[in-house]
Amino acid sequence: MYGHSHYNQRSPEELLKLFSLDETDLESIRKLQAPLEERLDELVDNWYQWLKNLPEHEEFFTDPKLLEHVQKMQIKFWKIFFKAEVNDDFINMRKRMGETHARIGLPMDSFFAGVDHWLSLFIDMMGELKLKPEEYSQTRRAINKFLHMDMTIIVLSYEQLINETIAAQSKSLMEMSTPVTQIWNGILLLPVVGIIDSKRAQDIMNATLAKISETQARSFILDISGVAVVDTAVANHLIKITKATRLMGCESTISGVSPAIAQTIVELGIDVGTIKTTSNMKDALASAFNKMGLEINEIHE
């Protein structure tokens, strides 16, 4: 399977070659342009009668103004299709169509079902034209190939936008999941919840070192009481983070080390070296305040 960007970079000539479309195919499609335009309003009505039986109709097409706009766009879409002129404008329009479908959240299975019904309508129209058997077969093959090319451009554009959206959301979530906070002058805190993999460990390190540089912090508390699993890989990530902070003159304390986590580390034979750990955040905070020359006193009313 070709990558998305690879498809998007193909020239019109490369796309035609990829889908084995030659001038004979394109000319066969163009011959249907006039009869199609005579029937296009009727075909659109027929297609929407089919759509009314699906839940997508209620979800996407109940607004009369929106429906009118979409119908106009469909008419334009198929007129351009049967012109069979594959150039940069054609490709860019198809890409925009894919992006539009992605933005409104139209499911791909609904999209393919809709295209399949359009194909059925075109085949019925060809039957009414009483084409010679050889011409009918040639035209039908040409439409199938051209439609596959057309849908490929649209679907890959759809998927690319979806993937970019997911990547942006993941980045935002990752940034939210590494909120290094200055809780006191010189003291930073980062509570970690979930799973620590190499990517997240690198994000934690980057965020922490940046915050240390910004605040000149001398103590950093990394609370792992919400971490799902601590294995050899996670322990190594934590060791690297604490070593990096130490190089910047900031002492790290890993809090939230449960008995289960401590036992796992021992059983795995992991050398935690000089990592400072506490079983809870309270002890870690007390140690950090002590390092800063501060004392916590309870106030009894």
pLDDT of 7: 47
Name, of 101-110, 253-262, 289-298, the range with top average pLDDT.
253-262
Q: Average pLDDT of the chain?
A: 86
Which of the four pLDDT bands, split at 50, 70 and 90, describes residue 263? Answer: confident
Helix axes 64-83, 33-51, angle to 10 degrees: 150
Cα separation, 87 vs 76, whole angstroms: 16
- State the burial class of residue 243 (Cβ atoms within 10 Å of its Cβ: 0-12, 13-18, 19+): middle
Of residues 193 and 121, the one with the higher pLDDT is: 121
Residue burial 172-199, b: 16+ Cβ < 10 Å; e: rest: eeeeebbebeeeeebbbbbbbeeebeee
Mean pLDDT across the stretch 4-14? Answer: 70
pLDDT, position 171: 65
- The per-residue pLDDT for range 77-93, each reduced to its tens digit, is 999 999 999 999 999 99
pLDDT score of 3: 42
Give the integer Cα–Cα distance in Å for 63 and 196.
46
The predicted pLDDT at position 214 comes to 94
How much is the pLDDT for 36? 92
Domains in the chain, CATH or no CATH each: 4-173 (1.10.490.10), 181-291 (3.30.750.24)
Pull the structure tokens for residue 157. 């554009």
Q: What is the pLDDT of residues 126-176, one digit of tens each?
A: 999 988 999 999 999 999 999 999 999 999 999 888 888 877 766 665 555
In percent, the amount of the chain with pLDDT more than 70 equals 92
Burial class (CB in 10 A: 0-12, 13-18, 19+), 47: middle
Is 118 exposed, middle or buried (CB count within 10 Å of its CB: 0-12, 13-18, 19+)? Answer: buried
Instruction: Show Cβ contacts of residue 266 under 8 Å, excluding neighbours closer than 6 positions.
Output: none
Q: How confident is the model at residue 102 (pLDDT cuts 50, 70, 90)?
A: confident
Q: The sheet that has 251-255: what strands, in order across it?
A: 181-184, 187-194, 219-227, 251-255, 276-277
Structure tokens at 151: 């849908």
How do residues 242-252 score in pLDDT, each as one tens digit?
Answer: 999 999 999 99
Calculate mean pLDDT across residues 215-221: 94
